[in-house]
Structure 1
Amino acid sequence: MASEPEEVTAKQVDQTETPLESLASICTVLAIGLFVMTFVFQNYEIPSASMTQTLLIGDHVLVDRTSFAPPTKWAPFVHYRDVHRGDVIVFYKPNPETPDLFLVKRAIGIPGDRIHLRNGIVYLNGVEQNEPQAGKPSADGDPQHAYNPYRDDFPDVPPGPMESGEVTASWALDLPNHIQNGDLVVPPGMVFAMGDNRTESLDGRYWGFVPRQNIVGRPLFVYWSFETPADQIEKTSMGDRLSFMAHILIHFFDETRWRRTFHIIR
């Protein structure tokens, strides 16, 4: 007589995640995100017009913090390299009065380079540079863009009354030590940087060289750009900030520069 098949009852497994497991998952994601945004990438907002046309006020950029960092054995897969001429760099301003201020400029000279400007045009190691993105003095009647001997023939003309309050006292004293035959010579461990909007940029001409260790990374692309007033950086009160945040919420769609989304920075 054939035996009846043995009935097998499947045990139901409870796959519901416990609150503790959910919390652990969230903490893991946050920890990974915090690590990436602290040590790999970081976002910055462009507050001034010193890099126009390359970067606009209100551009929000993603910055690569690894390429210029010192190589480490625990991350051999990361591509490291030194700063090249022409790189757009993010760095701490070399000024003891504002040690936590980040700036974005373009690296013009690296150690050993000889630099001078003539009528706003950069000469690097004796060769005139073709910089279509760089703003130059003009005769359009705007005093901001008019020829300025110190700014546009740097370092041939010493700082004068027009530069009072703009050239730091330490740089005014140190500048002559780095001039040879009319050229500024970049010393070891330093980078000379200027903004692309040369007539409106308070850059290395006014405060000196950027120590290599001050450089934190390079901006990769614009992930969001919002039309922002030029004087917004000066509005630091809580009321002004809340007012501008409300303005962003109201005008997010019509004042976002959509064409600049994912704009690659070169």
Structure 2
Amino acid sequence: MTQPAVVSSHPATHSPSTVGAQQLRHPTPNPTHRRHPVHHDRSSVFTALQSLLHLIVIAIFIITFCVQPFRIPSESMESTLLVGDFLLVDKQAAAPDGAGTLLPTAAIRRGDIIVFHDPVDASLHLVKRVIGLPGDHLRLRDGRVYINGHALTEPYAVYRPSPPDNFRDNFPRLHSADPEIDSHWWIRMRSLIENNELIIPTGNYFVLGDNRNDSEDSRYWGFVPREAIVGKPLVIYFSLQTHDPDDTDGYGGNDGTGASLAQSATATPTRRHPGKIDSVVDFARWGRTFQVVR
């Protein structure tokens, strides 16, 4: 069997040329020493994929049952919520009594902002502020809200100049109605008026937009049932800048009704005036990012 060449430790026994040749010679590998392939640890790859899958499942669970993103495309909640705001809504905080919850729950209180199913079209979501609670006697006089005979302090309410509207500003009224009012609500409302005040039934809430002169709310379509409430906005996680108040596109111009539709954040908006946003700085309202909703 051929042995690997070894550089001798006694160079005097070799001629200079021989020594040089031996010093440049590489050892011959022993054919009996076979190389074994290196196997990758497949279990570690599987573990990583399994962890990723668990994270995806948890994320889907949280979005489905705990929080949900929405965006604001109309002006009826200004200036609390602006056109182009993206919200995270806590679905557990407003869960009905008896429902299994993971996060702390709280009763619906006057002044709370809520997201709920549109009483007229349950496939849509609206966002408004709770003004009247079950059992309250409510009326509006010259746009100001009175609950159980007392004027309500509303630092969040905005009154933009607009033509007088008796139905909107002096609610409820038995002898006149706005053409935008839901016919079923008009009939029901008349049966709930006592001494010029609207009595709110058990299990129902009266809601208004903060932008009082440009909001389609409980004055026009009635109460919000407790079971229709989806959740309470937690935080504005992003806010897109808007430059055209008449823009009705998905970035959130006036939708023509002031309905303050809380659209799903996954909806794809289209912009009619892309040239109006010239830089990343103009593209977003960075100061509103991560602002708590109150």
Same fold by TM-score greater than 0.5: yes
**Which of 56, 74, 84 does residue 48 from structure 1 map onto?**
74
Q: TM-score, normalised by structure 2?
A: 0.73
Instruction: Spell out the pairing of 1:145-224 with structure 2 (5 A cutoff).
Output: 145-156=162-173, 158-160=175-177, 163-164=178-179, 166-224=180-238
CA RMSD of aligned residues (A): 2.8
Please give the secondary structure, in 1, of the residue aligned with 2:216: coil
Q: 1:227 to 1:94 in 2, by over 3 A?
A: same
Contact 1:63 1:219 in 2 (8 A): yes
Q: 1:66 to 1:74 in 2, by over 3 A?
A: closer
Contact 1:137 1:152 in 2 (8 A): no
Contact 2:160 2:211 in 1 (8 A): no
Report what 1:3 is aligned to.
Answer: none
Q: Which amino acid aligns with 2:182?
A: T
For 2:277 and 2:202, how far apart are their aligned partners in 1? Answer: 47
Contact 1:137 1:199 in 2 (8 A): yes
Please give the secondary structure, in 1, of the residue aligned with 2:48: helix
Report what 1:118 is aligned to.
Answer: 141
**Which of 24, 30, 33 does residue 50 from structure 2 map onto?**
24
Please give the secondary structure, in 2, of the residue aligned with 1:89: strand
Report what 1:69 is aligned to.
Answer: 95
1:93 and 2:118 matched = yes
Report what 2:241 is aligned to.
Answer: 227
Aligned residues: 239
Q: Which amino acid aligns with 2:207?
A: A
Deviation of 1:14 after TM superposition, in Å, equals 6.8
For 1:202 and 1:195, how far apart are their aligned partners in 2? Answer: 7
Please give the secondary structure, in 1, of the residue aligned with 2:95: coil
Deviation of 1:94 after TM superposition, in Å, equals 0.4
Please give the secondary structure, in 2, of the residue aligned with 1:199: helix
Q: 1:157 to 1:147 in 2, by over 3 A?
A: farther
Deviation of 1:27 after TM superposition, in Å, equals 1.4
Q: Which amino acid aligns with 2:219?
A: R
For 1:17 and 1:246, how far apart are their aligned partners in 2? Answer: 50
Q: 1:172 to 1:109 in 2, by over 3 A?
A: same
Percent identity reads: 38
Structure 2 segments unaligned to the other structure (5+ residues): 1-37, 256-267
For 1:73 and 1:153, how far apart are their aligned partners in 2? Answer: 38
Q: 1:247 to 1:30 in 2, by over 3 A?
A: farther
1:253 and 2:253 matched = no
Q: 1:146 to 1:244 in 2, by over 3 A?
A: closer
Q: Which amino acid aligns with 1:150?
A: F
Please give the secondary structure, in 2, of the residue aligned with 1:232: coil
Deviation of 1:150 after TM superposition, in Å, equals 0.3
Task: Identify which range, 65-74 or 120-129, moves more after superposition.
Answer: 65-74
For 1:167 and 1:43, how far apart are their aligned partners in 2? Answer: 30
1:79 and 2:104 matched = yes
